Amino acid sequence: MSAGKGGAGSSSSSCCHASKRGTCVTVSSMAFVIGLLLLAFYAFGDDTTLQVVCVVFRHGDRTPTETYPTDPYKNKNWQDGWGMLTAEGKRQMYTLGKYLRQRYDTFVSRLYSPGETWMESSANDRCLMSAQVLLAGLYPPTGHQVWNDELPWQPIPVHSTPRALDKLIVMKKPCPRYEWEKTKAYQTREIKQIDEENADLYSYLTQNTGKNISTILDVELLFNTLEIEEKNGLALPEWTKSVYPDRMKTLAAKSLAIFTHTPEMKKLYGGPLVKLITQQLSSKRSTALATAAGAPGRKLFLYSAHDVTLVSAWRTLGFAELLKPDYGAALMFEMHIVESKRFEVKLFYLNNTWLQRPRQLEVPNCGKPCSLDKFVDLMTPVLPDDWETECQM
pLDDT for 48 equals 83
Q: Which of 59, 261, 306, 336 is catalytic?
A: 59
Rounded CA-CA distance 328/343 in Å is: 29
Class of domain 46-175+258-390: alpha beta
pLDDT exceeds 50 at position 22: no
pLDDT exceeds 70 at position 232: yes
Question: What are the residue boundaries of the structural domains of the chain, listed by start?
Answer: 46-175+258-390, 177-256
pLDDT for 355 equals 61
pLDDT exceeds 60 at position 271: yes
Cis peptide before 296 (omega within 30 of 0): no
C-alpha distances in Å from residue 286, one per residue of 275, 279, 281: 16, 10, 9
- Where is pLDDT greater, at 67 or 14? 67
Active site residue 336: no
pLDDT for 292 equals 58
Would you place residue 20 in the very low, low, confident or very high pLDDT band (cuts 50, 70, 90)?
A: very low
Active site residue 144: no
**% of the chain with per-residue pLDDT over 70:** 86
pLDDT exceeds 60 at position 36: no
Identify which of 102, 147, 140, 100 has the alpha carbon closest to the alpha carbon of residue 304.
Answer: 100
Residue 148 in contact with residue 182, Cβ under 8 Å? Answer: no
Q: What is the DSSP string of 313-378?
A: HHHHTT--S---PPTT-EEEEEEEEEETTEEEEEEEEE--SSS-PPEEE--TTT-SSEEHHHHHHH
Would you place residue 13 in the very low, low, confident or very high pLDDT band (cuts 50, 70, 90)?
A: very low
- Where is pLDDT greater, at 4 or 64? 64
C-alpha distances in Å from residue 151, one per residue of 136, 140, 146, 147, 148: 11, 10, 9, 8, 5
pLDDT exceeds 70 at position 366: yes
Q: Going by C-beta distance under 8 Å and a sequence separation of 6 or more, which residues neighbour residue 369?
A: 338, 344, 346
Per residue in 100-111, pLDDT (tens digit) is 999 999 999 999
Cα maximum dimension of the chain: 68
Identify which of 181, 166, 206 has the alpha carbon closest to the alpha carbon of residue 260.
Answer: 181
Residue 141 in contact with residue 182, Cβ under 8 Å? Answer: no
pLDDT for 15 equals 37
Residue 124 in contact with residue 306, Cβ under 8 Å? Answer: yes
pLDDT for 360 equals 95
Averaged confidence pLDDT in the chain: 89
pLDDT for 297 equals 87
Residue 280 in contact with residue 300, Cβ under 8 Å? Answer: no
Rounded CA-CA distance 125/135 in Å is: 15
pLDDT exceeds 60 at position 209: yes
Rounded CA-CA distance 344/333 in Å is: 11
pLDDT exceeds 70 at position 62: yes
Q: Which of 61, 166, 218, 307 is catalytic?
A: 307
pLDDT exceeds 60 at position 359: yes
Would you place residue 25 in the very low, low, confident or very high pLDDT band (cuts 50, 70, 90)?
A: very low
pLDDT for 118 equals 98
Would you place residue 305 in the very low, low, confident or very high pLDDT band (cuts 50, 70, 90)?
A: very high
pLDDT for 85 equals 97
**DSSP state at residue 65:** S
pLDDT for 81 equals 96
Q: What average pLDDT score do residues 296-325 get?
A: 96
pLDDT for 47 equals 64
pLDDT exceeds 60 at position 387: yes
Q: What average pLDDT score do residues 1-19 get?
A: 36
Q: What is the DSSP string of 253-313?
A: HHHHHGGG-SHHHIIIIIHHHHHHHHHHHHHHHHHHHH-SS---S--EEEEEE-HHHHHHH
